[in-house]
Amino acid sequence: MRQVVLDTETTGLDVRQGHRLIEIACIEMVERRLTGRYYQTYLNPDRAIDEGARQVTGIEDDFLLDKPRFADVVDDFLAFVDGAELVIHNASFDVGFLDAELARVGRNVGKIIDRCRVLDTLVMARERYPGQRNSLDALCKRLGVDNSRRDLHGGLIDAQLLADVYLGMTSGQVALDLGFTPGGEEARENLGSLPVLDVRPVVLRASEDELASHESRLDTLDASCRGTSLWRLMQRGSAA
């Protein structure tokens, strides 16, 4: 399965007030492995960035003056995401801004949902960790993903962190060596300054007391069924 982990930055929080995209960042995964392919662009929004957004992203208005407008890059962007499952944290926010930009293009390019499936990791996190904070930073801390380089919100860094968080939530392991295929050094170089997080899962083994307690419980089950319990047979099978 081809997935694209996507993150955007915007001039403000409310698309209904005319706020615009200022960055799109996408990282490709195939069969849960990062391929090294990515798409990233800054955008000229033709409007000022709100002060709050400027503080969060570190992006200044002057920096965007010579950047392309969304209409200039729409074909390249759609070619990269077309047919993929998009992995997005708080997907309604990003998809809302993307759909608004697609509508402004002025030709029949449709909406994101017409081209891609969307998986919202915020919805997934709320189901798995009810009543807890489920921001990207909170999930990084919970799953042991190193987000120390996230001083400011940046598209590529946030997309990679989200990839690690997604893998952690769906497999019980974090990063999986980032899933780079053979020739991974080239993939790492292609990602430029994108940080590589080499995180390994912690293996927890039962103590002697826990093993003894487990055996005692199996003895009780054997006695209750006056023979060899299913759990004892399963244990023998796994040890064979």
Over its C-alpha atoms, the chain yields an Rg (Å, rounded) of 23
Q: Quote the tokens at residue 115.
A: 């081209």
Burial label, 79 (beta-carbon count in 10 A; 0-12, 13-18, 19+):
exposed
Q: Quote the tokens at residue 75.
A: 């074909």
Strand partners, 7: 25
The confidence score (pLDDT) of residue 219 equals 73
The answer on pLDDT for 210 being more than 70 is: no
Please state, in angstroms and rounded to a whole number, the distance separating the CA atoms of residues 16 and 96: 9
Digit-coded pLDDT (tens) for 1-17: 999 999 999 999 999 99
> Per-domain residue ranges for the chain?
2-190, 208-239
Digit-coded pLDDT (tens) for 30-58: 999 999 999 999 999 999 999 999 998 99
Digit-coded pLDDT (tens) for 87-110: 999 999 999 999 999 999 988 899
The confidence score (pLDDT) of residue 106 equals 84
Percent of the chain with pLDDT over 70: 73
Q: Which residue has the higher pLDDT, 153 or 179?
A: 153
The answer on pLDDT for 213 being more than 50 is: yes
**pTM for the model:** 0.71
Domain 2-190 has CATH 3.30.420.10: yes
Which DSSP category does 195 fall into?
A: P
The answer on pLDDT for 26 being more than 80 is: yes
Which DSSP category does 132 fall into?
A: S
The answer on pLDDT for 150 being more than 90 is: no
User: Among all residues, which ones are annotated catalytic?
Assistant: 153
Strand partners, 9: 23
